[in-house]
Amino acid sequence: MSEKSTDTGARLKIQARIMLDEEIAFGPGKADLLDAIAATGSISSAGKQLGMSYRRTWLLVDSMNRCFQKPLVETATGGAHGGGTRLTEDGVDVLKRYRQLQADIQQLSTQHFPEFKPLLRKKPLPSSR
């Protein structure tokens, strides 16, 4: 769902971040991470799927869990098949609301982009300095 840095041409990129003081409590990267954790049931598998180091993946999970009143991700320990990581009820909720916000943003983007597109070049002129 997140925009790759390899995108080319003219486009309107609108990014929503939930900030808490200086910290990004939630944004496009964390939303993708929650999707990957829900799909894989594991923090390390989710990180691998997104091409992130385990350390970075862990730090993103920790950041979300420190910003929200209740953790968004929980890891169960023990049991017949060992542990497992999953989204909490709040995790599912925040992800769903954020995806809805992104859908509304996409609509706004689609609506406004034609106002700018005809004024833009196909690609930037080379820098004159």
Contacts with a second copy by CB under 8 A lie at 5, 7-23, 25-26, 59, 62-63, 66-70, 90, 93-94, 97-98, 100-101, 104-105, 108-109, 112, 115-116, 119-121, 123-129
In the complex with a second copy, the residue whose CB is nearer, 38 or 58, is 58
Report the nearest approach of a second copy to the CB of residue 56 (Å): 12
The rounded radius of gyration (Å) of the Cα atoms in the chain is: 18
The Cα–Cα gap between 121 and 113 comes to 14
Distance CA 115, CA 129 (A): 29
Helix H or strand E encompassing 96: helix 89-116
For the record, the structure tokens of 85 come out as 């990581």
**Looking at beta carbons only, is 16 or 76 nearer to a second copy?**
16
Determine the Cα–Cα distance for residues 24 and 115; give it in Å rounded to an integer. Answer: 31
CA-nearest of 95, 121, 108 to 14 is: 108
User: In the complex, what is the shortest distance from the CB of residue 80 to a second copy, in angstroms, rounded to a whole number?
Assistant: 29
CB of 42 to a second copy, least distance (A): 19
Question: In terms of CB distance, is 41 or 93 closer to a second copy?
Answer: 93
Q: Among residues 21 and 82, whose Cβ is nearest to a second copy?
A: 21
